[in-house]
A and B are shown apart, each in its own frame.
Chain A
């Protein structure tokens, strides 16, 4: 298992996440695609950590997991609040702050 294959897999997953963020209009699915991108970057960190035998990458992934958990909680709360006001989670219809 070469390191370059892991990095290539991570790049592909990240790209799928970017495309998902760009083409989906449901805010929750956009959020899930952001989680996909976070996971792709975590995979890169774990791959480097494993191949160098260095534990700092593993610890960084641990902290990134904590940040992802809190981000998910706050983000979903924001989505619920928007849904209460707007009765929609379609990001095309959420245009209160639009210029």
Chain B
């Protein structure tokens, strides 16, 4: 059962990732990315990382994708079909680079695949909100607080960068 669900989610995520890359309209790309994120959240659930699955849905598929869609609609983009037909050379280079990276990753994976461990039964206790909170608020407290500073700086920086130029009075 878990294997079939994994195959389903894996195919869904790969198909939606290809959809993100190959779609002409930016809005459709963003919606395909939402499908990809939901499929990955499903895989996280299969791996018994419940907290991360929920966070993935809330933060990525909720907040970040709403931000993306807002920006796409703010900028009033047109489809890029006229751009998409040129530059065959770019496609060749891109696919060669992609195949090289995939071959490297799969080769390094294949040489280690005998030594990989089986699923640890401990994960059922490790992936819950309680377990994550226990570690996050004790051992990782300082990085957690630094994250707060990082998010504040990001919000202030985004506002500063994106605001219109203020007219200075002489």
CB contacts (< 8 Å) of B99 on chain A: these are 15
For residue B122, give the distance in angstroms from its CB to the closest CB of chain A: 3
Give bound CA distance, A43 to B131, whole Å.
19
Distance, CA A43 to CA B44, complexed state (A): 8
Which range contains the number of A residues in contact with the other chain? 35 or more
Q: Is the CB of A12 within 8 A of B154?
A: no
0 or 1 for each of A11-45: is its CB under 8 Å from B? (1 = yes): 11111111110111110110111011001001100
* Alpha-carbon gap, A29 to B150, bound state (A): 25
In the complex, what residues of A have CB within 8 A of residue B68's CB?
A: 28, 31-32, 72, 76
Q: Taking the complex as formed, is B158 at the interface, i.e. its CB lies under 8 A from any CB of chain A?
A: yes
B161 contacts chain A at the CB level, 8 A cutoff: yes
Contact indicator B26/A26 (Cβ below 8 Å): yes
Are B33 and A11 within 8 A (Cβ)?
no
Query: Using a Cβ–Cβ cut-off of 8 Å, how many residues does chain B contribute to the interface with A?
Result: 82
Report the nearest A residue to B151, measured CB to CB: A70
CB proximity of B157 to chain A, nearest CB, Å: 5
Give chain A residues whose Cβ lies under 8 Å from the Cβ of B46: 1
Choose from A5, A24, A79, A89 the contact partner of B6 (Cβ within 8 Å): A5
Name A66's closest neighbour in chain B (CB-CB): B147
Interface SS of chain A: helix
Please pick, from B40, B72, B97, B121, the residue contacting A22 in the complex, using a CB distance under 8 A.
Answer: B97
Q: Which residues of A contact B21 (CB under 8 A)?
A: 16, 19-20, 23-24, 29, 33
Q: In the complex the two chains form, what is the Cα distance from A56 to B121 in whole Å?
A: 16
Is the C-beta of B74 less than 8 angstroms from some C-beta in chain A? yes
Whether B80 pairs with A51 at a CB distance below 8 angstroms is no
Contacting pair B118 A19 (CB below 8 A): no
The interface residues of chain B lying within 8 Å CB-to-CB of A13 are: 13-14, 17, 36
Chain A residues within 8 Å of B, Cβ to Cβ: 1-9, 11-20, 22-26, 28-29, 31-33, 35-36, 39, 42-43, 46-47, 49-56, 58-59, 61-63, 65-74, 76-81, 83-84, 89-90, 92
Q: Given known contacts A39-B40, A73-B67, A73-B158, what 6 new A-B pairs fall within 8 Å (CB)?
A: A14-B101, A20-B20, A26-B80, A35-B60, A50-B48, A53-B123
**CB-defined A-B contacts under 8 Å, sample of 30:** A4-B109, A4-B113, A5-B6, A15-B105, A16-B20, A17-B17, A22-B97, A25-B83, A28-B30, A28-B75, A29-B20, A29-B21, A33-B21, A46-B52, A51-B116, A52-B117, A52-B120, A53-B123, A54-B126, A55-B126, A58-B49, A62-B132, A69-B59, A72-B64, A73-B154, A76-B67, A76-B162, A80-B162, A81-B161, A89-B75
